[in-house]
């Protein structure tokens, strides 16, 4: 269980940042509203990912799950940032 804690904290944090960046680029509101929505949803998102990691069989599965979600999300990040 303790090995899953590492991926739950670090992986959950990075992935939630990445997902929030995408959300920030996609929602059609003013910047202050987008920032607030991002702030409000980022931590629950992180915790949701933690639940997903702890529900995994082991560290490897948790890592795999996070990576599979992170790769497309990071690609969208790159796309948005380059544009």
User: H helices within 1-83, ranges in order?
Assistant: 2-6, 12-26, 31-54, 59-82
Q: What is the DSSP letter of 9?
A: I
Is 33 near other proteins (CB under 8 A)? yes
79 binds other proteins (CB under 8 A): no
| Contact call for residue 51 and other proteins (CB under 8 A) | yes
By the criterion CB under 8 A, which residues form the site for other proteins? 1, 4-5, 8-9, 13, 17, 20-21, 24, 30-33, 35-36, 38-40, 42-44, 46-48, 50-51, 54-57, 77, 81
């Amino acid at each position: 269980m303790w090995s899953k804690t590492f991926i739950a904290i670090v992986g959950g944090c990075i992935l939630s940042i990445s997902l929030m960046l995408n959300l920030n680029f996609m929602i059609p509101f003013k910047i202050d509203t987008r920032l607030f929505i991002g702030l409000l949803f980022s931590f629950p998102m992180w915790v949701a990912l933690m639940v997903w990691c702890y529900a995994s069989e082991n560290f490897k599965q948790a890592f795999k799950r996070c990576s599979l979600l992170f790769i497309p999300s990071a690609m969208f990040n790159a796309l948005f940032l380059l544009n």
